[in-house]
Amino acid sequence: MLAFLARAAVLGLTLFAGVQASRAGELADFNAAVEKASAHNRVALGYLRTGNTDLASLEIDRLRAAWAILTQRFAGKRPDAFDGNPLYATVMTDIAGRLAAADMSFKSGQPDATRQSLDAIRDNLYRLRQSAGIVVLADCVHDADTVMDALMVYNDRALDWTNSATRFGIASKASIYGYILDRCDAIAIEPVRKSPEFRRLVDGAKAGLALIPKAVATRDTDLLHRVLIELRSFENLLAFRFG
């Protein structure tokens, strides 16, 4: 009897481990499928910003195809991480509508409306993952972009250095941005983290951030301006490639 119970316990643990691995695999597959579609979305947005409509059209088509494959697999059987999450169905439905709207506006010669639809897709996916406590590199880059927007407010030639709130604001937002960059560095999977492109962007941004305390201490508007422009360039490239 004891031997039987032991074998039953081992079998139960094995089955439980198998279920857990299956659930983890479902989420990993979902994240990978989303990233595949998101990569086309990022590139399409980049081409739209530079006015390269031919290549933007190609990436939008690839985005729609990648999302169709994802939908076929996960629309009827969501990963367990989203069980009971009301945002899942809402986001999946909304993204389908955004893709149709992006296609229509693009074919109608409305690039701004197309960009708005594609940006909304990124925001939807960010909110969905956030609601389920899922964090991926793209979301970290999204957070970095938000802080960079706040930091860029200080790219002002008429900056009032006598205002202590200004000096504190620059230093604190730069510190927050550095913290988020470190988090993105830690979140990135090893092949990405070690890739020359990722290292150039993250390490380049960190090197720029290291100059901000000097700009604040010396009240050097020109130095701050140069650093912020460089940081914005790095951030744009991070968003284009990994966001």
> Which of these, 147, 230, 144, lies nearest to 186 by C-alpha position?
144
Residues 6+ apart with CB under 8 A from 13: none
Cα atoms in the 13 Å half-sphere on the side-chain side of 212 = 27
> Domain residue spans in the chain?
2-131, 137-242
Helix axes 86-107, 53-74, angle to 10 degrees: 150
How far is residue 54 from each of residues 48, 95, 106, 163, 204, measured CA to CA in Å? 9, 23, 11, 49, 32
Residue 40 is encoded by which pair of tokens? 């086309």
Q: Quote the pTM value.
A: 0.77
CATH architecture of the domain formed by 2-131: Up-down Bundle (1.20)
pLDDT in tens, the chain (243 residues): 545 444 544 444 443 334 333 444 588 899 999 999 999 999 999 899 889 989 999 999 999 999 999 998 887 788 889 988 999 999 999 999 999 999 999 999 999 999 999 999 999 999 999 999 998 999 999 999 999 999 999 999 899 999 999 999 999 999 999 999 999 999 999 999 999 999 999 999 999 999 999 999 999 999 999 999 999 999 989 988 887
